[in-house]
Amino acid sequence: MVRAAKLGALNLAQGAPGFDTPQNVKEACIAAINQGHNQYVQFTGLKELKESVSKKLSERNKITTDPEKNVLITSGAMGAVSSATLTLLNAGDETIVFGPRYSCYEAHTALAGGKLIVSHLNKEDFSIDWEDFESKINEKTKLIILNSPNNPTGKVFTREELEKVAEIAIKNDLYVISDEVYEDIIFEGEHISIASLEGMAERTVTINALSKTYAMTGWRVGYLAANEGLCTKISKTHTHIVVCAPSICQFAGVTALEGDQKPVEEMRLKYMKNRDLVIETLKRAGLKCTKPAGALYTLVDVSSLGMDGTEFANRLLDEANVALVPGDEFGEYWKDFIRISFARKEDEVSKALEKVEEFIAKVGAHSSSLS
Ligand SMILES: Cc1ncc(COP(=O)(O)O)c(C=O)c1O
């Protein structure tokens, strides 16, 4: 990423939205600064923002919360996942996650002295191997981390899949961290919060952020919902790390959640257009890929081109000045894959895709002449 930035490469790597934060949100932040809201706020979060989050959780996610007991405002979703993981795990505990996994889950588990165990999805269609998943749960397993819509596959877990995860969590008395940062970026299917399923609210930490939905990745505002005792403990961890999320961004966050939601839908439609362009291009170039139902990414096997994801990414950067992420970032098992992000504006995505297509044509012709 550092090399790509230095080279000024076209960006199919990052999940940072190519759109600006809505104007009303920016103005709310400026007003908060001018009104003097420039010091710490209540460490668990600004009262008004916790109330907005609680209302949104009830209306959208079917999760009932008391804003003062069950909601914590965090420094991005990352602040929520790290604080929750550090709170829930003791040294030697295990977290189980579906692979390919967002790399931070491994880092946070390691910071807590725990071990991340991965149950890999099927490489063809990202379906779950339930036998494998259940066989990896043992007496050390404490936590399942779930991410739907998913980075990097774009998979949106179905109700049936979530019910099965819930059943397994209850049977084995496990906590679930449900990272739902892409809930508003769905193209097919529906987003279901696992905490809304029977028996799950007590054992689930539901995590979200304003980052992706409102194109606010730099503002560092996220939130979580958990049972009262757990929420109190996670709040202490979060406070000891960052004190509180930025005050002025929390004021703006109330406007984001309560204000006009049109920009959210406009961005979703633009992402969907980009997604379709990515899939058309890859298919035309002869690569097999699964159409992502949500989030901002597609994960594609490039081994048919006679190279792994790292070689593909390095050569694409050197020869075509386009950056993307090699699959081993999401676990060694996925080294034959690349992740393409379609978060940027349409013109940047289409320009980058033209270069990807040319590159595949070049290396594809070469690899077939060798075989
Ligand atoms: C699955 C997932 N969770 C969390 C994050 C981080 O979110 P935030 O910027 O709100 O910390 C990302 C960022 O790309 C992500 O892909």
* pLDDT surpasses 60 at 370: no
Average pLDDT in the chain: 96
Query: Which residue has its alpha carbon closest to ligand 1 atom 13?
Result: 15
Q: How confident is the model at residue 1 (pLDDT cuts 50, 70, 90)?
A: low
What pLDDT is recorded for position 364?
A: 82
pLDDT tens digits, 191-236: 999 999 999 999 999 999 999 999 999 999 999 999 999 999 999 9
Mutate to test the pocket of ligand 1, among 1, 53, 212, 344 (most ligand atoms within 8 A of CB): 212
What pLDDT is recorded for position 2?
A: 62
Residues of the chain above pLDDT 70, percent: 96
Site residues for ligand 1, CB cut-off 6 Å: 15, 76-78, 102, 147, 151, 179, 181, 209, 211, 217, 222
Rounded mean pLDDT, 129-136: 98
Rounded mean pLDDT, 119-137: 97
* pLDDT surpasses 90 at 113: yes
* pLDDT surpasses 60 at 68: yes
pLDDT tens digits, 133-180: 999 999 999 999 999 999 999 999 999 999 999 999 999 999 999 999
What pLDDT is recorded for position 8?
A: 79
Rounded mean pLDDT, 117-135: 97
Residues of the chain above pLDDT 90, percent: 95
Residue 93 or 2, more confident: 93
CA of 286 to the centre of ligand 1 (A): 31
What pLDDT is recorded for position 367?
A: 61
| For the CA of 209, the nearest atom of ligand 1 | 10
Query: Which residue has its alpha carbon closest to ligand 1 atom 1?
Result: 151
pLDDT tens digits, 300-347: 999 999 999 999 999 999 999 999 999 999 999 999 999 999 999 999
CA of 297 to the centre of ligand 1 (A): 13
Please tell me the pTM assigned to this model: 0.96
CA of 150 to the centre of ligand 1 (A): 10
Query: In three state form, how does the secondary structure of the chain look?
Result: CHHHHHHCCEECCCCCCCCCCCHHHHHHHHHHHHCCCCCCCCCCCCHHHHHHHHHHHHHHHCCCCCHHHHEEEECHHHHHHHHHHHHHCCCCCEEEEEECCCHHHHHHHHHCCCEEEEEECCCCCCCCCHHHHHHCCCCCEEEEEEECCCCCCCCCCCHHHHHHHHHHHHHCCCEEEEECCCCCCECCCCCCCHHHCCCCHHHEEEEEECCCCCCCCCCCCEEEECCHHHHHHHHHHHHHHHCCCCHHHHHHHHHHHHCCCHHHHHHHHHHHHHHHHHHHHHHHCCCCECCCCECCEEEEECHHHCCCHHHHHHHHHHHHCEECEEHHHHCHHHCCEEEEECCCCHHHHHHHHHHHHHHHHHHHHHHHHHC
What pLDDT is recorded for position 368?
A: 54
